[in-house]
Structure 1
Amino acid sequence: MVARIMRTVFGVEPYPWQQHCLNVGLEVLPDGTFAYDELHVLAPRRSGKTWLKTGLVARTCGGDRTSLAVATAQNGDKAVTLWRQVADQIARSPLGPQVKEKISNTHEELRWTKTDSRFLPFAPKEDAIHSEEPDLVIVDELWWFDLAAKTVLEDAWVPVFSVRPGQAWLLSAAGTSRSGWLKDAREKGREAVAADPGRGVAHFEWAIPEQVGGVKASLLEDDELLDLVWNHHPRRDHGLRKDFLEKELTTSRPRFLRAYGGIDSDDSASETVIDELQWGRARTREQIPETALVGLGVGVDQDGVDASITAAWRRPDGVALTEQIAHRPGTRWVAPAVEQLVAAHHPVAVAINHVGPGRNVADELTTHGVELLKLGMGDWGSACIRFKSGVEEQPISVSHDGHPDLEDSMRHAGLRETKTGLTMWAKTSEVTVTVLESTTAAVWAADHPGDVEPVKPVFRIF
């Protein structure tokens, strides 16, 4: 039925891979319930997953009874973007007269006026849809979520499906070492395919083989890798251009393998500088309150490649929260950006590692009238160890927002011991650890607001 809706309502002919997913995934048992309540669609970028989602929503909500479809992605904003893509396609189609879009601050819905069926976005957080009873759940970009998020989100619909049969469609491209839910779904799905129970979990996956003739796919010559991806992509001969893939390959081979080859990127070291399990436990979606007095941390790469600004606030219970603010190439942008933040959130303490290139940025900040916590070698070594200990101790005293740039910094960071016995962050690869440094400095600033050095007037000769 979804394929017919796509064809007759939206004027879109389903791709063969979409038709296969729908033929299998929407199979109905003799009692009228779906054979599969959990469906995994792991497909490369540019496969056409958006139209699949649109067809599923139209089928679920366009029937004769009141139904509910919900969708989420990496965060609330991404969930709304996903919802808007699907809702707009439905509203612009011949179904438009049957639906009514409602868009307001923090509340969006597409409602079918005849049956009162609804399609809603929801933020991926606890209790987001606990008062609802969805018939269809769509989780997009599954690679973003860890196992903790899986537990939280599944608790919103798995109990509902036990008494009101529905389906959860989990869609994603390949992931990273942090993609706990994706890895779990892939393993669970492959086991289901091997067992072939005919119900429960339906698993669809498109990816290139990790090795060809004993050679890792990532080590193939460009033309061989391009042909391999082209031959395995589900939209080959259905609108996808090979010259587009060729351009993507020349831009970034690791990104190409992940986005179009379906190969998870290996961005984790064999041993991370902070315990991997504790780092995951310290990840939180809790945000710093808007009225909180925060500390700002500035990080500057030792080679001046990039710079970063992070905010931190310590809760009354003693746990520090951190949020990434900005991370850009170069350093000249930092002083004006920090000046604006300080003016908007005064009073605020600003900390920076006052060693190497950090000294130059500190001078620029002082010129802009920003009072600073200038961390010398001793304080900086203490800040690094305190941050590491705060994440690793139980219970934790430092949490983080899981920003991708911070995750990359942590996984490519090492500890360098100086001749005087101090230990501090250091790069172990070409990936900078700047965001880890700014986050460390931010926690120090949040804990030492009274140590700020007043700005000295600029000396002038008249």
Structure 2
Amino acid sequence: MTTTSETWAPPTEFAEDLYERYGLTCPPRWGTPRHPGRKSLGPKLWKVMAKLGAPPMPWQKYVSDVALEIDPETGLFAHREVGLSVSRQQGKTELTLGAQVHRAMAWKQQNIVYAAQTRGMARQRWEDEFWEKISGSDLARYARIRKSNGNEAILFPGKRSRMGITANTEKAGHGPPLDLGFIDEAFAHEDDRLEQAFSPAMLTRAMAQLWWASAGGTTKSVWLNKKREKGRELIEALFAALAEDPDAIRPRACYFEWFAPEDMDRADPATWRATLPALGYTVTEEVIAAELEKMDPAEFDRAYLNRTRKPTPPSDPNVPKGKWPGLVDAASRPEPSRVALALDVSQDRKGAAIAAASLRPDGIVHLEVVAHRPGTEWVVPAMARLHALWNPVAVAVASSGAPAASLIDDLIAAGIDVPKDKSAPLRGDLAVMRTGDITEACGQLADAINQGTVAHLDQVPLTAAVNGARTRRQGDAWTLDRTTSLVDISPLCAVTFARWALLIRGPHVLDDYDIADSFA
């Protein structure tokens, strides 16, 4: 789980403002809002893009308008850094080129450097795309190209400006002061060497900017993933500050990210319309549908939904994840009088889950994640409300050093008591699980999955936890391991504990409970 919630959304006024200003119907999930009191050179860049044969789309107008805001107090760019995370085929290249040409022609003696995955890739784009578009446009008379290896540049003699390329090395950007640095295809960069090379060269340039852009990467895209996480945090903090004070100080970096959370169906055109800002302009739904048909789903998610591609989880022999898809029952519902609840907290305490297990009339145990959210402060109040609403068979929570053990006293204070008589627990009492109970619960759920005696709704957090779960030895048995698992497994732990509580406490509080119903 990341430090910021993928379910976060900006206030509705943000989308309304973007539509009113630019006609943008696909706002980013995270995006710096336009400052109403600042002028911008964005419209100047739009004219350059139009002359290059690519009139800006609404999303490009928005990004460039914010990126080129002028601070009225200094007369300089308000943003020293511009971060852009958007899917493939959305017009990133046209915006990148337009920003470089605008810079080269707007001021004298501008040094602009562009970097991609490799120097070879940078040269290919620089020569085959950038120069082709410049030389075929009305701006061709202002530019010429120099192709000598190691000294490649598109030159603007009238302004004595140059657009060059560089490699992804520590020495990139060394030399003359740098006015504009572009790091393209940031997903391919596994460290920050390029940023560290560019930044010192910009120190003495008052109007310097660093732009980076990329579609989603993989777990190896360390630099991009760090930038995305920081960008999300920046935007969420900015909107929180603006809600308190419309004149709050804004950061010197701006950020824009279009993204589809995991709970959005990759095959649903509504997902594409909410994620692809060029849809209906330069790409169509038919094209995206064709891409979905031919591409690996994980790569489609990376390229077009801007999701980080994760490695295929290795199989853990103790978790029968191969049987999990066959247990999906979209129509399954809990039996209100036969529900047990449980909670669990992730190892890093960045998230938590509440789950339910319910014995259906047909003997199948319904498993469901009731809530899965960032943080832990919400868990006890939510469990108290569910306890009052459902009057569950029991509420299970792990102790024995588990992360959720810290919440036991708060649960008791909220009115969810431990049994006064352990041999005769009451409905709704806490079921505090010891090490042996947890090991037993894990084995029982694995058996139930293999035997087909459970059903689930194919909820994304739970299915992801099943696929990414790892286990460790516990004596001659095993238990789920939060530390080595590839994802947050609190949803899986919670349903495991809820099922255990249902089986263990059901006979004590349900007159018609037959434990044999829970086994094949």
Q: How far has the Cα of 1:230 moved from its partner?
A: 3.6
Q: How far has the Cα of 1:79 moved from its partner?
A: 1.1
Q: Which residue of 2 aligns with 1:21?
A: 63
Unaligned runs of 5+ in 1: 273-462
Q: Which residue of 1 aligns with 2:138?
A: 94
Letter paired with 2:68: L
Q: SS of the counterpart of 1:160?
A: helix
Label 1:235 to 1:202 Cα distance change in 2 as closer, same or farther (>3 A). same
Q: Which residue of 2 aligns with 1:344?
A: none
Q: Give the alignment partner of residue 121 of structure 1, picking from 165, 169, 182.
A: 165
Q: Give the alignment partner of residue 203 of structure 1, picking from 255, 278, 284.
A: 255
Q: How far has the Cα of 1:192 moved from its partner?
A: 1.5
Q: Distance in 1 between matches of 2:80 and 2:152?
A: 26
Q: Summarize deviations over 1:98-129 as a string: whole Å, max 9, x none.
A: 11101123331111111211000101112132
Label 1:271 to 1:125 Cα distance change in 2 as closer, same or farther (>3 A). farther
Q: Which residue of 2 aligns with 1:73?
A: 116
Q: Distance in 2 between matches of 1:205 and 1:40?
A: 8
Label 1:243 to 1:22 Cα distance change in 2 as closer, same or farther (>3 A). same
Q: Which residue of 2 aligns with 1:264?
A: 308
Which structure 1 residue ranges, 4+ long, deviate > 6 Å from structure 2? none
Q: Distance in 2 between matches of 1:141 and 1:69?
A: 17
Letter paired with 2:292: L
Q: SS of the counterpart of 1:36?
A: coil
Q: Which residue of 1 aligns with 2:211?
A: 169
Q: How far has the Cα of 1:82 moved from its partner?
A: 2.4
**Are 1:238 and 2:281 an aligned pair?**
yes
CA contact 1:98–1:112 (8 Å) conserved in 2: yes
Letter paired with 1:41: L
**Are 1:254 and 2:254 an aligned pair?**
no
Q: Distance in 1 between matches of 2:314 and 2:45?
A: 45
**Are 1:137 and 2:181 an aligned pair?**
yes
Q: Distance in 2 between matches of 1:112 and 1:133?
A: 17
Q: Distance in 1 between matches of 2:79 and 2:135?
A: 29
Q: Give the alignment partner of residue 200 of structure 2, picking from 146, 155, 159.
A: 159
Q: Distance in 1 between matches of 2:228 and 2:77?
A: 21
Q: Distance in 2 between matches of 1:79 and 1:41?
A: 18
Label 1:251 to 1:159 Cα distance change in 2 as closer, same or farther (>3 A). same
Q: Summarize deviations over 1:161-193 as a string: whole Å, max 9, x none.
A: 332131111000011010101111111111211
Label 1:208 to 1:83 Cα distance change in 2 as closer, same or farther (>3 A). same
Q: SS of the counterpart of 1:34?
A: coil
TM-score w.r.t. length of structure 2: 0.48
What pairs with 1:55-454 in structure 2 (closer than 5 Å)?
A: 55-84=98-127, 85-147=129-191, 150=192, 152-165=193-206, 166-196=208-238, 197-212=249-264, 217=265, 222=267, 224=268, 226-252=269-295, 253-267=297-311, 269=313
Q: Distance in 1 between matches of 2:163 and 2:148?
A: 15
Q: How far has the Cα of 1:270 moved from its partner?
A: 7.3
Label 1:4 to 1:182 Cα distance change in 2 as closer, same or farther (>3 A). same
Q: Summarize deviations over 1:327-352 as a string: whole Å, max 9, x none.
A: xxxxxxxxxxxxxxxxxxxxxxxxxx
Q: Summarize deviations over 1:409-434 as a string: whole Å, max 9, x none.
A: xxxxxxxxxxxxxxxxxxxxxxxxxx
Letter paired with 1:178: K
Label 1:60 to 1:228 Cα distance change in 2 as closer, same or farther (>3 A). same
Q: Distance in 2 between matches of 1:136 and 1:19?
A: 19
CA contact 2:45–2:102 (8 Å) conserved in 1: yes
CA contact 2:53–2:133 (8 Å) conserved in 1: no
CA contact 1:177–1:268 (8 Å) conserved in 2: no
Q: How far has the Cα of 1:268 moved from its partner?
A: 5.8
Q: How far has the Cα of 1:10 moved from its partner?
A: 2.2
Q: Distance in 1 between matches of 2:229 and 2:185?
A: 17
Q: Summarize deviations over 1:183-215 as a string: whole Å, max 9, x none.
A: 111111112112224232111001112214xxx
Q: Give the alignment partner of residue 46 of structure 1, picking from 84, 89, 92.
A: 89
Label 1:230 to 1:112 Cα distance change in 2 as closer, same or farther (>3 A). same
Q: How far has the Cα of 1:142 moved from its partner?
A: 0.5
Q: Distance in 2 between matches of 1:75 and 1:204?
A: 24
Unaligned runs of 5+ in 2: 1-43, 239-248, 317-520
Q: Summarize deviations over 1:429-450 as a string: whole Å, max 9, x none.
A: xxxxxxxxxxxxxxxxxxxxxx
Q: Distance in 2 between matches of 1:128 and 1:240?
A: 34
Q: SS of the counterpart of 1:70?
A: strand
Q: Distance in 2 between matches of 1:125 and 1:246?
A: 38
Q: SS of the counterpart of 1:235?
A: coil
Q: Distance in 2 between matches of 1:227 and 1:254?
A: 19
Q: Distance in 1 between matches of 2:107 and 2:307?
A: 42
Q: Distance in 2 between matches of 1:271 and 1:132?
A: 52
Label 1:115 to 1:76 Cα distance change in 2 as closer, same or farther (>3 A). same
CA contact 1:133–1:157 (8 Å) conserved in 2: no
Q: Summarize deviations over 1:248-279 as a string: whole Å, max 9, x none.
A: 1011222211111111111164799xxxxxxx
Structure (1 or 2) with the larger CA radius of gyration: 2
Q: Which residue of 2 aligns with 1:320?
A: none
Q: How far has the Cα of 1:144 moved from its partner?
A: 0.7
Q: How far has the Cα of 1:95 moved from its partner?
A: 1.4
CA contact 1:143–1:173 (8 Å) conserved in 2: yes
CA contact 1:71–1:82 (8 Å) conserved in 2: no
Q: How far has the Cα of 1:59 moved from its partner?
A: 1.0
Q: SS of the counterpart of 2:147?
A: strand
Q: How far has the Cα of 1:237 moved from its partner?
A: 1.9
Q: Distance in 2 between matches of 1:115 and 1:263?
A: 41
